[in-house]
Structure 1
């Protein structure tokens, strides 16, 4: 694939530009462009790299007369119009493994913080109170953790929380029961999982099959007081139904790093964020220095691999619409 000029439209770690430049790509960094500005500027480039800020719309894609690759330095491609890219024979890449450890570690810290009421207890003490009895928690040892999505992140969460003595069960339509057993997760269907789980953590993409996956019906068949964690994508847990379950006690607490709307302005979302049983963070799953370097390097390596400029780089694990390669 002939790629000469690359536009970096969102702030990524300098390792991205450094690696591309060393391999003889011409790289320009132009951040915070409006759609109109990007439509005008994209015409000059063969590849576009984004993070989360830039929404790569159909209009931008159509304007990219020389565009062959759109790469997202991160997991998921929610901000890229995949259908439009495929229709225009433009390859879409992401870095599915780049933030796995960071997202896993945030998930684990959420689970332990929920169990011991770390966040509200710390806030109470800072406010001058001494509420030992109010914030008594429970042990994780012997509790059941349900992991929905047993890919890179789900697997890493399972391994770490097993060291706390948690029983791990899970569901993934792609990962076989035999493969799940290799990292000590008992594979079950969702109907089996819900009544058994003390904690539920989701690690799936947001697709039609997973939108509102955890909803009012699920809360009604779970153990009373179940805890839920979401560092994957907003919309997998129905926010309206979560709020109702928090209010009536079906949900004992939630830890959320992602929301249906970011930044959130919806009244239901804002009420969830303020709820005393909720830990809420502003989409920090990949916000570690290590993850930022990793995704920056991985997206560059894949672009280099597709051009064949450097035989050191041959892997392209983040191709989303591989059919485009067939078209070429």
Structure 2
């Protein structure tokens, strides 16, 4: 099925994504029809303020919708004084960055620690915390990584290396070339053990048959546990990327990255802009940020989930070259 091209929009207000959303049954809309497609019985319908009702997706009867308002309630109950940056599409996908006061220095920049949650009403981008989706959370060996927020380009950077025990393990994984394999099995990274305080019940979250009350309790425990954790490995990799300058053949390097051609062109323009803004030579750090910026601001038929997957591949590919 062809997916509608969309460009993520930016907001700092929960209100822009916490509009009413509810299930509508096909049987109620089409009472004179016998519906044989039992895997597609529930419409997800939302209504933006002042807009028409929008059908975001069609799901099975037991699919549980997670309203953004339910996420907001948990975040507000746990945290105060945070900043908010949300990227969302008109097709019903959301990337929510909770920007915290804590900072980490990368070169001459101060990055804020953050939490990144994704959600969708169209089913294209599953709910996730720090890039870990609900099915993956069922695996008790999964450890949730960190993320940071960068003011220069207003983008959230996922802690893709935080799932490794230490830098040597990550470098060995890169040298083995596993990051170049795009198969599902290769995406199962070697992970460190979850913290001792982790509740195994947190791994039972799933979209099917999930009630909002159960979801909120699990999310509350997950966020509370995550706020206590320290995530340093990705920051160490960022610092190394910042120290390694890119050769003059930036265009050729961009062409080798797993991003669409048009987004690669936008990344090149962004890289040149940041070189001028920061009065800095092009580094692997600036290149990664330029690609990240293009991925999450450019118009594309890519879903938000696709954009995060490509961002992860780009991060590992650039890290492999910088450490090579």
TM-score (norm 1): 0.22
Bigger proportion of residues as strand: 2
TM-score (norm 2): 0.22
Point out the structure with max Rg over C-alpha.
Answer: 1
